[in-house]
Amino acid sequence: MRKLTMEMKREERAFWVFILPWLIGFIVFTGGPILVSLLLSFTEYNVISSPSYIGIDNYSSLFQDKLFYKSLLVTLYYSVMSVPFTIITSLVIAVLLNTKIRGQSLLRTVYYAPSIISGVAVSFLWSWLLNPQFGVVNSLLYDWFGIVGPGWFTSSATVVPSMVLMQLTASGSTMVIFLAALQSLPADLYESASIDGAGRFTKFVKITAPMISPVILFNTIISMIASLQVFTEAYVITKGGPDYNSYFYVYYLFDTAFKQFRMGYASAQAWILFIIIFALTVVSLLASKKFIHYEYDPKK
């Protein structure tokens, strides 16, 4: 075993000194609360009185709760619609913004800017745009095409698709990651393909998509995790309605914790959500092995 020199020991001490603020912050504000929530999930706790241990009663009650299944189904429905929509639109826009045109930098900024705005502000903006009485979208549909627009957030059939549509102004970060991946691709591959007579679609299918497939997987998993934690849109616009059709899982968790003050039950809900997200992430990673192309594979 190699002995540590004085210089190596100083570097090690410096490492722990510099990482200590982050380590303390993680333990106090992240790791600690995570552990406490796990312990609270086995208790009955209403904030006012001390927690009392009840075993797995919270979990057994959760699986008999109709609202649990309703909120979970609504959230999964949103996720199934939102993730493909976000990935496809972000990738298409990234490809378009990767072309050399006048005002390219301005267009990139314009599309990315809404993603750094508060989710509450964006929700208020979309609630105005899609208002069925005086919203801009329905007004244009009627004035230009004579079409009476849908109820959007007020209709059970369109409330979730309307929230999926809101991802148009929230996927700027996804687009930027795709754009960075596209700009890292070697130009000689496209030049060779052009010489062989390949068109734009063929280049995208045969070169672009395989080369950025790890980035597609990364963005898909991140978008999936975010979609399963959707909350702001329902809280600001619909309050879970109409008829519980936007009563997302995290919104139900919020109601349980901060309106009913059933902290133990809410902690159990949070851990069930963690297990679902973890399982879906692992399945996604395992299922993607045959479709993801890595430039360097250490197993080969």
pLDDT tens per residue across span 213-255: 999 999 999 999 999 999 999 999 999 999 999 999 999 999 9
* Type of residue at 70: K
Distance CA 145, CA 73 (A): 35
Residue 298 has pLDDT above 50, yes or no: no
Residue 209 has pLDDT above 60, yes or no: yes
Distance CA 200, CA 51 (A): 62
Residue 300 has pLDDT above 60, yes or no: no
Kindly list the structural domains of the chain, giving each domain's residue range(s) and its CATH number in brackets, ordered by start. 65-287 (1.10.3720.10)
Confidence at residue 136, expressed as pLDDT on a 0 to 100 scale: 93
The number of beta carbons lying within 10 Å of the beta carbon of residue 152 is 22
Q: Could you give the percent of the chain with pLDDT greater than 70? A: 97
Residues 6+ apart with CB under 8 A from 85: 164, 167
pTM for this structure?
Answer: 0.89
Q: Give residue 8's pLDDT band: very low, low, confident or very high (50, 70, 90).
A: confident
Calculate mean pLDDT across residues 182-196.
Answer: 88
Q: Give residue 294's pLDDT band: very low, low, confident or very high (50, 70, 90).
A: confident
Confidence at residue 138, expressed as pLDDT on a 0 to 100 scale: 93
Residue 2 has pLDDT above 70, yes or no: no
Calculate mean pLDDT across residues 182-210.
Answer: 88
Q: What are phi and psi of 149, to 5 degrees?
A: -70, 160
Calculate mean pLDDT across residues 134-158.
Answer: 92
Confidence at residue 41, expressed as pLDDT on a 0 to 100 scale: 97
Residue 272 tokens read as 């069930």
Confidence at residue 221, expressed as pLDDT on a 0 to 100 scale: 96
Residue 200 has pLDDT above 90, yes or no: no
Q: Tens of pLDDT along 75-126?
A: 999 999 999 999 999 999 999 898 887 888 888 888 898 888 889 999 999 9
* Type of residue at 227: S
> Euclidean distance between the first and final Cα of the chain, in Å?
31
Q: What are phi and psi of 157, to 5 degrees?
A: -80, -25
Q: Tens of pLDDT along 150-163?
A: 999 999 999 999 99
Q: How far is CA 113 from CA 11, 83, 122, 134, 252, in A?
A: 41, 20, 11, 26, 30
Calculate mean pLDDT across residues 65-72.
Answer: 96
The number of beta carbons lying within 10 Å of the beta carbon of residue 58 is 23
